[in-house]
Structure 1
Amino acid sequence: MRKLTNTEQEKIKLLTKNQVALSLIEPTETGLKKSIMDATGSVRSYLKSEEIHDYELQKQGPDNKVIIPTVIHTEFKTIKSKASLYRPQTKNGDPRIWFYSLTKIADPNDIIAITYFNDSFQIFNLTKLDVKTLIDSSIQNPFQELINAINTTENEVALELLSMLRKIAGSGPIPSMVDADTSVGRTLETALGIDINSSKQPDYKGIELKSFRNSRTNRKNLFAQVPDWKLSKFKSSAEILDAFGYEREDDFKLYCTVSAITRNSQGLNMRIDSDIKQLIENSDKPEIGDFVVWTLDKLHNRLKSKHKETFWVEAESIKIDNREHFQYKLVEHTKKPITSQFDLLIEQGIITLDHLIKRNSKGKVVEKGPLFKIKPKGIELLFPPSETYSLI
């Protein structure tokens, strides 16, 4: 696809701001004449990630063609159409896509935007359509209605959760459930009626909740992820504990932070090997060396699934009658982390790893992590621009 103009890029920024996920395709002169376009890698990836269509599962030939309803948006009108997705018998069955009536709105090398809403493709000529004017128009129009509907649908759960949080915050400081570092999150989740469990799934209808006291030096939890034991020298948390643990009160434990920019007091650090796409933890003990491994693909997928959408809830800690209370005050709303930044932030020491391993009096080894954490300044580097909401 050709390089986008500055105007086209600005239109995409405006659409992204309005929660519109889309893909782009550039019809050629030959493609318009023959009513055929290659379904490029980016288009195929979009269709698969949005669970619209998977070309890898589609068989070749006209009998396996898939037809999807389509709406073509023009200035103040729409054209009812349809799309065909297929793989021809010829060659390798290279994926094809075509939107009927596309020639009515497109010239060769225009950029066509494709999004999906209300069980239909919604397409428009990004090059020619005055996106901003239509969205801001005082005259109601189909394109404006589409963008508003997408925006409302995408934000429906967030607005519901925000309303609940404001109600909780409006009732004043809430007594802490337990005397622990984790109480700020557990207290809020209980107030929201969310079961306290160890699920890796987001907390509230697809939105992850991360609560923290309003000390700006506190690192924030991203997710927990055990190493890939099959690829690692050590095969369990117990082996890590035996190698680096220490006696503390009644427990034998390893509670420590591991960084890529310095070694900790246990002689541990970590590094990224981009060639083999692994995060590796290392000991300065020559007889141990590299001892556990995470694949970057696994870490990226955990980040995307855990933080597809997140509310970072800030609370003020207040002592009332010698008991900690929480006044929840602010929400930072992030979406769609940039996974390529994850690696860079590890290398910069902004994302670190916490081991939380101990052997109790019964000899059982318990591992609460490993926890990947991020310094407060890293949030704006890991996620696209966020929204901030006051709760009180």
Structure 2
Amino acid sequence: MRKLTELEKKNIKLLTKNQVSVTLIEPTKTGLKKSIMDATGSVRSFLKEKSIHDYDLQKQGPNYKVLIPAVIHTGFQTISSKASLYRPLTKNGDPRIWFYSLTKIADPNDIMAITYSDDAFHVFNLTKLNIEELINTSIQNPFQDLIKKINTTENEVAYELLAMLKKIASAGPIRSMVDADTSVGRTLETALGIEINSSKKPDYKGIEIKSFRNSRTNRKNLFAQVPNWKLSKLKSSAEILDTFGYKREEDFRLYCTVSAITRNSQGLNLRIDNDIKQLIENSDKPEVGDFVIWNLDKLHNRLKEKHKETFWVEAESIRINNSEHFQYKLVEHTRKPITSQFDLLINQGIITLDHLIKRNSKGKVVEKGPLFKIKPKGIELLFPPSESYSLI
């Protein structure tokens, strides 16, 4: 898929803010002419996750074609349609999808959004529609009705936690517990009475709490997840360190960010293979090549497990008597990550991976990651809804 325009990104942010889970598809000139589109990995994942359709269980040939009702949104009107999902007898049965009447709203390489509600697909053109205008206009329209129907309300636990955070913030700056990058989170969790532990479960009654200093350039931690060592060429963090590490002071370490859109100084990058549902880390060293693998289903499950509901708490760092203090000021509240967009955001370089591996002077290898992180502007692309609350 091509790089998204600013308008397309803005449209996705508005959809995710309103809890509309979508998958994206880019029809080609040939596809529009022949009324056929590849059901890409992200589309297949979306359909399977929503229990709409599983191509893995579908047999090849026209006798096994599946038709599902669809609504194509043109703005203030709709077109009644159907979606055709099938696997042809030719070309290894590669999954296909088509929406009748799609050519009435789509030009080649437009980005189409697909969602599902009331037993029907809903399709709209992100390249051409003004989503903000359709949602906010005083003129009632089918698209606005769809958004309102999908949208959900806040729950009691969120307001309970918000009240606790406001009480903490009203007491003024809190002295940092430790002198470390992680102190902003540890200090807040202690103030909330949450025990510091290594559990992968959310922090407070199902809500994950992520605290950060208020630098707008800071990427935010999503979760840590080791590769599938059985499928990987390199079988441990120690092997990764030995292959790509460097000497720094008394430690031998590999501290670096890895992205899908460029190679870093160590020659590393990421790529997604949707056909086998894997995230692969690659080296430009010919003798190494692809060296570690993550199963995308595993990453999706970690994201859903960790961030079913999240409070992203922004803090101002203040020096008082030569000690760091935190004034917690703002909360961004997100729910229900859209896992089908996780892959897209990796491909766009918005979600990246950090290696934090070192071997100390005693020869012990310590791994703090690998950490999957997201750029600040990517939050609204991945987590619906995005509501902000002032704490002071």
TM-score (norm 1): 0.62
Instruction: Quote the offset at 1:362 in angstroms.
Output: 2.1
Q: Please give the alpha-carbon distance, in whole angstroms, between the structure 1 residues aligned to 2:357 and 2:48.
A: 43
TM-aligned CA distance change 1:203 to 1:271, over 3 Å: same
Stretch moving more, 240-249 or 360-369: 360-369
Report the equivalent of 2:287.
287
Partner of 1:224: 224
What's the CA shift string for 1:106-152, capped at 9, x where partnerless? Answer: xxxxx699xxxxxxxxxxxxxxxxxx9xxxxxxxxxxxxxxxxx95x
Counterpart CA distance in 2 for 1:224 and 1:160 is 28
Match runs of 1:178-217 below 5 Å: 178-217=178-217
Q: Which runs of 5+ in 1 are unaligned?
A: 1-12, 22-40, 47-110, 114-131, 133-149
* 1:372-391: CA deviation from partner (whole Å, max 9, x where unpaired): 00000000101223111110
* Alpha-carbon offset, residue 213 of structure 1: 0.7
**2:251 matched to which residue of 1?**
251
User: In structure 2, what is the equivalent of residue 344 of structure 1?
Assistant: 344
User: Aligned residues: percent identity?
Assistant: 84
Relative distance call for 1:306 and 1:43 in structure 2 (3 A) is: closer
2:388 corresponds to which residue? 388
Query: Which amino acid letter does the alignment assign opposite residue 225 of structure 2?
Result: Q
* CA–CA separation in structure 1 for the residues paired with 2:119 and 2:284: 55
Partners of 1:317 and 1:157 lie apart in 2 by 28
Counterpart amino acid of 2:275? D
> Quick one: structure 1 residues 44 and 238, their matched pair in 2 at CA, closer, same or farther if it must change by over 3 Å?
closer
- Look at both structures and tell me which one has the larger radius of gyration over its CA atoms: 1
Q: How far does residue 318 in structure 1 lie from its aligned partner after superposition? A: 0.8
Q: Which residue pairs with 2:270 in the alignment?
A: 270
Matches within 5 A, 1:1-392: 45=51, 155-392=155-392
Deviations along 1:166-208, one digit per CA (max 9) or x if unpaired, are 0100000011111111111111011111111111111111100
- Shift in Å, 1:42: 9.3
Aligned pair in 2 of structure 1 residues 284, 180: CA closer, same or farther (>3 Å)?
Answer: same
Tell me how far 1:304 sits from its aligned partner.
0.6
SS in 2 for 1:331: strand
Aligned-partner Cα distance in 2 for 1:348–1:270: 11
C-alpha distance in 2, partners of 1:224/1:209?
A: 15
Q: Kindly indicate whether the alpha-carbon contact (under 8 Å) linking 2:282 and 2:292 is maintained by their aligned counterparts in 1.
A: yes
Deviation at 1:361, TM superposition (A): 2.2
Deviation at 1:44, TM superposition (A): 9.7
Answer yes or no: is the 8 Å Cα contact 2:169–2:327 preserved in 1. Answer: yes
CA distance in 2, matches of 1:263, 1:311: 32
1:315 counterpart letter in structure 2: A
- What is the Cα-based RMSD across aligned positions, in Å? 2.8
Distance in 2 (CA, whole Å) between partners of 1:328 and 1:277 is 39
Supply the distance in 2 between the matched residues of 1:304 and 1:218 (Cα, whole angstroms): 22
Which residue of structure 1 aligns with residue 97 of structure 2? none
What residue identity is the alignment partner of 1:222? L
Give 3-state SS (helix, strand or coil) of 2:282's partner.
Answer: strand
Cα offset, 1:160, TM superposition: 1.1
Q: Which moved more, 1:305-314 or 1:197-206?
A: 197-206
User: Do the aligned partners of 2:356 and 2:370 also contact (CA within 8 Å) in 1?
Assistant: yes
3-state SS, counterpart of residue 189 of structure 1: helix
Q: Distance in 1 between matches of 2:355 and 2:50?
A: 40
**Does the residue aligned with 2:180 lie in a helix, a strand or coil?**
coil
Cα offsets for 1:304-341 (capped at 9, x unmatched): 11000000000011111111111000000000011111
- 1: CA distance, partners of 2:369 / 2:385: 29
Q: 1:42 to 1:234 in 2, by over 3 A?
A: closer
Partner Cα separation in structure 1 for residue 318 and residue 349 of structure 2: 31
- The whole-number CA distance in structure 2 between the counterparts of 1:302 and 1:319 is 36
1:360 Cα deviation after fit = 1.8
- Which structure exhibits the higher relative contact order, with contacts defined as CA atoms closer than 8 Å and separated by 6 or more residues? 2
Rate the CA distance shift 1:181–1:276 in 2: closer, same or farther, 3 A.
same
Instruction: Extract structure 1 runs of 4+ deviating beyond 3 A.
Output: 41-46
The question of whether the paired residues in 1 share the 8 Å contact of 2:333 and 2:385 is answered with no
TM-superposed CA distance for 1:275, in Å, is 1.1
Separation in structure 1 between the aligned mates of residue 165 and residue 373 of structure 2, nearest angstrom: 24
Q: Counterpart amino acid of 1:352?
A: T
Please tell me the residue identity of whatever aligns with 1:161: L
- CA 1:239–1:112: 2 relative to 1, 3 Å: closer
- Three-state SS of the structure 2 residue aligned to 1:344 is helix
Deviation at 1:247, TM superposition (A): 1.1
Aligned length: 259
After superposition, the Cα gap between the structure-2 partners of 1:307 and 1:43, relative to the gap in structure 1 and judged at 3 Å, is closer
Q: Unaligned regions of 5+ residues in structure 2, if any? A: 1-13, 22-46, 53-117, 121-139, 141-151
